[in-house]
């Protein structure tokens, strides 16, 4: 009986994650891709956060639609700002690679460190935004703060990225149906643990 109950709950979670994945894809397309992906991502993290807070019966579609509309502007501000900054850092890294000598090595090292910290902050920024309901500037500031002040959780997120990269190569069909939602659930779970450690949320 216990095994059957556990199997049922596992299948229920899988189906809910597949549903969230479908909604994420649908709402991304509803925004013509570029204008929809970041609001859809914020909507997905909002649903996942509610699950982790114990709200297992949350009306998924209703929350998704409400969040997508309400947070459309700021989600795009956050997402596209990070994307633009990422391109700047990438070209800075490429430029540093063309330089020789000590100056080139120093600039390359600084660029590589900056990109690493930037990636960590990007992994934190959407969980931070949906948890704290912060404005653009505060969400970005808190994302960098958590990335730098919680190295264990930051490295755990990097490990999750590496794991899902391997899974995408080994099980591409599974990633098609579960990739984004399962990955985001992993990131949101790690972020919540960082929030708990910082005293920003009570353990469930």
CA quadruple 56, 25, 178, 129: dihedral sign: negative
- Answer yes or no: is 64 within a domain: yes
Contact 36, 24 (CB under 8 A): no
- Answer yes or no: is 15 within a domain: yes
Note the pLDDT tens digit of each residue in 103-160. 888 888 999 999 999 999 999 999 999 999 989 999 999 999 999 999 999 999 999 9
Q: For residue 67, what are its two tokens?
A: 């969040």
- Answer yes or no: is 66 within a domain: yes
Q: For residue 156, what are its two tokens?
A: 């755990």
- Answer yes or no: is 132 within a domain: yes
- Answer yes or no: is 202 within a domain: no
CA-based radius of gyration for the chain? 18
Category of 137 on φ-ψ map: left (φ > 0), alpha (ψ -120 to 50) or beta: alpha
The total of structural domains in the chain comes to 1
Quote the CA–CA distance of 204 and 194 in Å, as a whole number.
Answer: 14
Note the pLDDT tens digit of each residue in 83-104. 999 999 999 888 888 887 788 8
Quote the CA–CA distance of 83 and 61 in Å, as a whole number.
Answer: 28
Identify the domain containing residue 35 by its residue range. 2-197
Note the pLDDT tens digit of each residue in 22-50. 999 999 998 876 789 999 999 999 999 99
């Amino acid at each position: 009986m216990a095994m059957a109950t556990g199997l049922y709950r596992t299948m229920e979670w899988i189906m809910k994650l597949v549903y969230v994945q479908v909604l994420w894809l649908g709402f991304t397309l509803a925004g013509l891709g570029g204008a929809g992906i970041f609001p859809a991502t914020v909507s997905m993290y909002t649903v996942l956060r509610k699950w982790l807070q114990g709200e297992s019966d949350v009306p998924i579609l209703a929350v998704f639609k409400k969040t997508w509309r309400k947070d459309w502007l700021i989600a795009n501000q956050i997402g596209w700002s990070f994307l633009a900054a990422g391109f700047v850092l990438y070209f800075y890294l490429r430029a540093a690679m063309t330089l020789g000598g000590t100056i080139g090595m120093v600039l390359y090292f600084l660029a590589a460190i900056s990109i690493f910290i930037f990636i960590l902050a990007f992994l934190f920024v959407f969980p931070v935004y949906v948890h704290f309901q912060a404005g653009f500037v505060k969400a970005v500031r808190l994302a960098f703060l958590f990335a730098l002040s919680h190295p264990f959780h930051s490295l755990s997120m990097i490990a999750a990225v590496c794991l899902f990269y391997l899974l995408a190569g080994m099980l591409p069909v599974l990633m098609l149906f579960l990739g984004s939602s399962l990955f985001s659930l992993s990131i949101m779970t790690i972020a919540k643990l960082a929030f708990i450690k910082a005293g920003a949320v009570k353990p469930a």
